[in-house]
Amino acid sequence: MDNKVYAPDSTDAHIDALKKRYGGDLVILGHHYQSDDVIRHVDIVGDSLELARRIPDIKARNIVFCGVYFMAESACLLARPGQRVFLPDHDADCAMARMARAEDVERVLERLTSTGRRIVPLVYVNSSLAVKAVVGRFGGAVCTSSNARIMLEWALKEGDAVLFLPDRNLGCNTARALGVPADKQVLLDLSRDNLDTEDVRKAKLLLWPGCCPIHESLMKVEMVDAFHQHFPGCRVIVHPECSPEVVERCDGAGSTAYLIKEVENAVAQGRESALCVGTEFHLVRRLMEKYADRINIIPLAQATCPDMDRVTAEKLLATLEGLDAGKGEVFVEEALKAPARESLVRMLEICR
Ligand code: 13P
Ligand code: SF4
- How do residues 191-222 score in pLDDT, each as one tens digit? 888 888 999 999 999 999 999 999 999 999 99
CA 305 / ligand 1 centre spacing (Å):
11
Give a yes or no: residue 346 inside a domain: no
The number of domains in the chain is 3
pLDDT number for residue 1: 42
Same domain, 79 and 50: yes
Same domain, 149 and 122: yes
Rounded Cα–Cα distance for residues 252 and 198 (Å): 34
Give a yes or no: residue 3 inside a domain: no
User: Is the shortest distance between the CB of 89 and ligand 1 below 6 Å?
Assistant: no
User: Is the shortest distance between the CB of 307 and ligand 1 below 6 Å?
Assistant: no
pLDDT number for residue 351: 87
Q: Provide the greatest CA pair distance for the chain.
A: 63
Same domain, 227 and 293: yes
Rounded to two decimals, the pTM is 0.93
Closest listed ligand to the CA of 216: 2
Atom of ligand 1 nearest to the CA of 255: 3
Give a yes or no: residue 352 inside a domain: no
Q: How far is CA 63 from CA 19, 55, 127, 330, 333, in A?
A: 12, 9, 20, 10, 18
Same domain, 115 and 38: no
Q: What sign for the dihedral angle of Cα 341, 343, 349, 352?
A: negative
Rounded Cα–Cα distance for residues 112 and 106 (Å): 10
User: Over the stretch 21-69, which tens digit does the pLDDT of each residue have?
Assistant: 999 999 999 999 999 999 999 999 999 888 988 999 999 999 999 999 9
Among 172, 192, 211, the domain boundary falls at 211
Same domain, 114 and 182: yes
Give a yes or no: residue 338 inside a domain: no
In which residue ranges of the chain is pLDDT below 70? 1-7
Same domain, 194 and 249: no
Same domain, 118 and 42: no
Same domain, 117 and 202: yes
Same domain, 313 and 289: no
Give a yes or no: residue 70 inside a domain: yes
Quote the domain boundaries for residue 156.
97-211
Same domain, 271 and 225: yes
Give a yes or no: residue 83 inside a domain: yes
Same domain, 57 and 160: no
Atom of ligand 1 nearest to the CA of 257: 3
Amino acid at 74: S
- Residue 164 has φ and ψ, to the nearest 5°, of -100, 130
Closest listed ligand to the CA of 147: 1
CA 47 / ligand 1 centre spacing (Å):
6
Give a yes or no: residue 344 inside a domain: no
Closest listed ligand to the CA of 97: 2
Rounded Cα–Cα distance for residues 297 and 289 (Å): 9
Same domain, 109 and 76: no
Cα Rg of the chain, angstroms: 21
CA 322 / ligand 2 centre spacing (Å):
27
Which of 34, 44, 48 is the best mutation target for the ligand 1 pocket, counting ligand atoms within 8 Å of the beta carbon and taking the most? 48
Among 184, 211, 238, the domain boundary falls at 211
What CATH number is attached to the domain comprising 248? 3.40.50.10800
Give a yes or no: residue 350 inside a domain: no
